[in-house]
Structure 1
Amino acid sequence: MTLTVLFAAGDAAFADYEAPLTRALSEAGLDARLVTEAAPEDVDYIVTAPNGWVQDFTPYTNTKAVQTLWAGVEGIVGNDTLTQPLARMVDDEGLTQGMVEWVTGHVLRHHLGMDAHIVNPDHAWDHQAPPLAAERTVTILGLGTLGTACARMLATVGFDMRGWSRTEKSVEDVACHHGDAGFGTALDGADIVVLLLPDTAATRNVLDAAAIGRLARGAVVINPGRGPLIDDDALLAALDEGQLSHATLDVFRTEPLPQDHPFWAHPRVTVTPHIASETRTDSAAREVAANIARCERGETLKGLVDRDRGY
């Protein structure tokens, strides 16, 4: 029987995904038709995004699973009408590689002090070599797919790597901490902290004044995860006081970041417009098709969302 896959992530996204996703479904051995309209009772799978046009999932009584194209699901996981299994994008190789490149680039930028040489209007000749990576402690908060990939890459550069996660994890060459007891230990004395946690009730404002105070004096904060992970007021106060030397932020509570937000004008804040990583069409299409094939074989969906945890 031919499967009906409803693409509900919007017309603009469909223009990009129609050909690669149709091809990926076929290459996965699936007899499937990809559509943007269908009678709800005929839909076997829904491919969407948190801002997709299907917001009431109640009529889709025969739908086996909903696959989102995004890694973050905070915009959809609380939808009470969504009772079908929900899977998030976790193994898109393009998304992962993009995040690894962005995080590695900005960690190295701050580690090497590149800004002082890129913008040097006084032509200062400050002959001070940076420390080696092994002398710099980098902590990654969040050891999911993205956090683990970034930690591994930074470990190969030679940084003294730490990681923290809600549950126990093990990553080679990374000192892994978990739970409430391990949170402070992961932060204590860290020179650079990278936030790659999901946005949940338990993680909002996880980097508050107390957490920032545990970092090394003059530490750097890098946030490509989610805007609400940081207490903005505490961050600005720490930058002004000198506890932090810089913050590079890619995500914000309100996006686009309002023009009058103090982050724009602060001399020790770098704003990037939510570009740390994007779902790449071809690789994401392969992951969507592979997950549908898993479900058809009776296997557990990859990236299956735990509603209680929120991700």
Structure 2
Amino acid sequence: MFELRQYFLLFITATIWGSGFVAQKLGMSYISPFAFTFFRTLLGALFLIPVILFIKAHNKKHQIKPRTLNKRYLIIGSICCGFFLILSESLQQFGLVTADVNKASFITSLYMIFVPILGVFLGHRLSLKIIAAVIISCIGLYFFCIKNDVSFEQGDLLVLLCAIGFACHILVIAYFINHVDGVILSCGQFFCASFLGLIMMCLTGFPSAPALIKCIPALLYAGIMSNGIAYTLQIVAQRGINPTIASLILSLESVMGAVFGILFLSESIMSERELFGAALMFSAVILTQIKLRRTKQSE
């Protein structure tokens, strides 16, 4: 039940991130990538402060012993997570300026390949079923996102670097979540990321007041939903979960992004090719769950 709950939280995260593509696309019409990233991460941090205070008061009222806070791990973890978060989000924002959205979604979700590759160097073990699930999911992602154009442009390279950054972000979370509280770690990473984003925005220029006002709805959604809620759910849900399996579930954000694009941006309904690709991706996730259940029964 614990694993199923974690999988469900990761799927909710992917769903929120998918809807966040709509906010990102709209927000990029008004302000620069660094400005958008700075404000969304700052909003995410500010949103979590009352949440942390509420949890603290709730635990005190019901005499629930909170998890021991390791300040050293919290500080280092916040810096590491915040660095890879601001790096990945900025690269993605800049890539989306020129890259096709569908192709950018495909390349971004390739972090599910980089997670196991980088994980091997960190001593993570991979079963044949997980490797098969990654391959099936990648094939499904290709059918879902790539239509006719398979050329590689500058924006695509930035998004590819973004995928590597997100893979590092997932692996860093997988390490530090075993030592600190997930919600506090999430808040810490947002403050670190917003600080770095502020520096980059100061170097590249502030957005105008009229443009910022027009961007407020997109910033509120990306800051509160995609960052404050979704990234926190990701951190909490990754506790005790294989990071490769987590990356497979999170990669479903591309499918959910297409669904929300149809609902809110009047984009075309998914073709048979796209539905086939989405089915392969969901099948890959189911395959990892079957593997875990069988292993548990065999023990």
TM-score bracket, shorter-length normalisation: under 0.3
Larger Rg: 1
User: Which structure's residues are more often strand, by fraction?
Assistant: 1
If asked which structure has higher relative contact order (CA below 8 Å, sep 6+), I would say: 2
User: Which structure's residues are more often helix, by fraction?
Assistant: 2
